[in-house]
Chain A
Amino acid sequence: MTRISQDDSGAVVIIGSGAGGGTLAHELTRRGIKVVLLEAGARQSLASFSQVPGDAFAQLTWLEPRTISGTTTVAQDYPTLPSWTCKTLGGTTVHWTGATPRIRPWEVRSRSTYGAIPGASLIDWPIEYAELEHYYQLAEKRMVVTRRNGNPGLPASNHFKVMYNGAKRIGYKRVHTNYMAINTRPADGRGVCIQQGFCVQGCKTGAKWSTLYTEIPRAEATGNLDLRIQCRAARIEHGENGLATAVVYRDAQGNEQRQKARIVCVACNSVETARLLLLSESAKFPHGLANSSDQVGRNYCSHTGGFVWGIFDKPINFWRGTTLAGIIEDETKHDPKRGFAGGYHLELAALDLPSLPLAGLPSTMWGRDFAFVMEHYRSMAGMFINGEDLPRATNRITLNPKVKDAFGLPVANIHVDDHENNAAMRAHAQRQSKALYEAVGAIRVVNSRQTPATHNMCTARMSKDPGDGVANAHGQTHDIANLFISDGSALSTPGSANPTLTIVALALRQAQFIAAQMAAHSI
């Protein structure tokens, strides 16, 4: 195992090992660059993934406290778990469902396309779509995405048959088993999907791409990676010249450690990335690092939606099969005639029995209504609405001084007031979903409310104008040349696509930039 001295100021320190950090670590180490990778969680494996839903949740989830405020129903339904992210090597690529749709061309120009929307802080991306598209292609090859590059799609499950037939009957055209980073045949040294339905618990065949068993071991094999698990970053330090110099972290024993750095890349998932930058305040940067624009933590986006459940009187057994292998692309468009800006995807979604009442139904639902849904567990179908969330300057991550973590540091507070555009989009998606299920004989259709966000984005966004965001088009912070944002925080706007593919694409692009800058001694 490679060891890099804590006093070695030549290393790149990456904080977080998920889609962004794990991919970046591999891309830099394979170019001969020394990397220290800090991961707060432990290391699991295909063998150690639990197949008991509650145990798997506890094994993989970031369970340290966070708080939530604002008018969002998430504050009411999930006060102790306002965001569902991971604390494990591989980050959220361990529990993600493998869905890899792309952000669309007009979505990276949302401010220009949608115009000024009151109460929203939309910006255009500082990257041309053609360039992003190039990195999408690279990411799709790397992750072996179905229905791209000649890869076959996943087969249709019972659950998808219901969605597909309903969608076709109400006139949708672009309906298929989704773009998925899940193997339908052996590839990339990974196994094949056996339709277990346990995607969220960690894929025991490794059919689903995860940095845990692709990018990270490949980075280790280069001899250039010093991986430190169960190490939690506490602050990023800087020198008098304002450049980042070191990362202070707590090791597995809780002892404080300090790793010097030439470059620091933050990839802690959007909530914790913003928190870490805010925690790193100093006399020189009293509002936190890279925050001269006061944009760190602002513009927090998830995706607008929630679940829709169709209840039938015939068996479906929706837990059998790949959890998210189904998508409708027809509503992914900007068509203001629908009464809102932006668009949404509808994606197949099932929940295991223990999770359905906890994650899939509103907290206000109990009694006979609730029991009716549960009694139909064998004969229900589900979809997840994944719509473009509008950024708002006031939807933001801040430090909550009233609640401290185990190390005495203030936890993140998530403040969200739903924009009326989101409400209109959600209502439209729920109406369409209801029509879809009724077209194939649903006896009842039930909506969840907004669920704890697995897609957390935009809290340190890329912007052309330094006043509008935190980082430039390469994720390099506007304020500090050797500090990078390397996760979903950097997305300028969320689009309506599940974010992992975009995060990987941006990490591939950022790695090229960092390597070139290092070679040119510009950083």
Chain B
Amino acid sequence: MTLIPRRDFLGASGVLTGLIAAGSPLALLAPSRAWAIDLKALSSTEGATLMAVARTIAPHDKLDDAAYALVIQSLDADAAKDAQLLRTLRDGSRQLGAAFASAAESARVQSLKAVETTAFFQTVRAKTLGTLYATPIAYAYFGYEGEAFSKGGYLLRGFNDLHWLPEVPLEDSGPVPGQS
């Protein structure tokens, strides 16, 4: 995602916009709290419906909309190259209806349960799961520290700093390298 302070949607089909919540770790990364994503293939309404689908599949209340917008951006990029996928997303969004995006969560869940086995749902689910948790936004939100090789691994950075349970006897584990 490009976090841009003002949108430039020449040639774009639709657009998703939002405001990063104050205090979000994302606020530190972005040049402005306002963000916008241009959609190449999907309309703004379809984008908004799909955003709501992604949020219903993976409802993290305090996770910024911007994180979900990345999912839609990736779906849109795929759909721009794949007419059949675009049709699947359009038909699926239309079937859910324009009211879906603003419906209560229980109603959204019910609507999605009815289409759970469709290619539409499975596609959006796979994209949501594959995209949402692979971003720096998600790493920060879920507390995942990621690769550690560049920092010398976790050997000296807390791999064994848990103290709410008894330690493991040496005979069932082994010495920590560098300590004896």
Contact = CB atoms under 8 A, between A and B. Distances in A.
A156 B168 contact: yes
Given A153-B173, A184-B177, A357-B133, A320 B157 contact: yes
B134 interface: yes
A53 interface: yes
Interface stretch (B36-44, B83-91, B136-144): B136-144
Interface in A462-517: none
A130 to B, nearest CB: 28
B76 to A, nearest CB: 19
A158 B148 contact: no
Given A358-B129, A440-B165, A198 B147 contact: yes
Interface of A: 51-54, 146-147, 152-158, 160-162, 164-165, 175-177, 184-185, 192-198, 204-205, 314-317, 319-321, 352-354, 356-358, 363-364, 366-368, 370-371, 374-375, 377-378, 440
Given A374-B142, A377-B144, A162 B155 contact: no
B147 A196 contact: yes
A52 B133 CA distance: 12
Given A175-B172, A320-B154, A162 B165 contact: yes
Contacts of A158: 158-162
A321 B159 contact: yes
Top 9 A-B pairs ranked by shortest CB distance? A194-B153, A153-B174, A51-B147, A158-B162, A320-B154, A156-B173, A156-B168, A353-B144, A354-B134
Q: Chain A's interface: helix, strand, loop or mixed, by majority?
A: loop
A513 to B, nearest CB: 36
Given A196-B149, A317-B158, A154 B174 contact: yes
A353 B122 CA distance: 20
Contacts, number: 160
A321 B154 contact: yes
A51 B172 contact: no
B23 interface: no
Given A184-B174, A316-B162, A320-B158, A353 B139 contact: yes
B11 interface: no
A421 to B, nearest CB: 29
B134 A156 contact: no
B149 A164 contact: no
B39 to A, nearest CB: 23
A193 B159 CA distance: 12
B56 interface: yes
B154 A195 contact: yes
Interface in B82-137: 109, 112, 116, 122, 125, 129-130, 132-134
Interface stretch (B2-10, B14-22, B25-33, B57-65): B57-65
Given A354-B138, A366-B112, A367-B59, 14 more contacts: A160-B173, A184-B175, A194-B149, A194-B155, A196-B148, A196-B153, A197-B154, A320-B154, A353-B139, A353-B142, A363-B125, A370-B57, A374-B58, A440-B165
Contacts of A358: 129-130
A193 B167 CA distance: 20
A352 B133 CA distance: 10
Contacts of B168: 156, 160-161, 164, 177
Contacts of A363: 122, 125
A53 B134 contact: yes
15 contacts: A51-B146, A155-B159, A156-B160, A194-B148, A194-B177, A198-B149, A316-B162, A353-B138, A366-B57, A366-B112, A367-B56, A370-B57, A374-B58, A377-B142, A378-B142
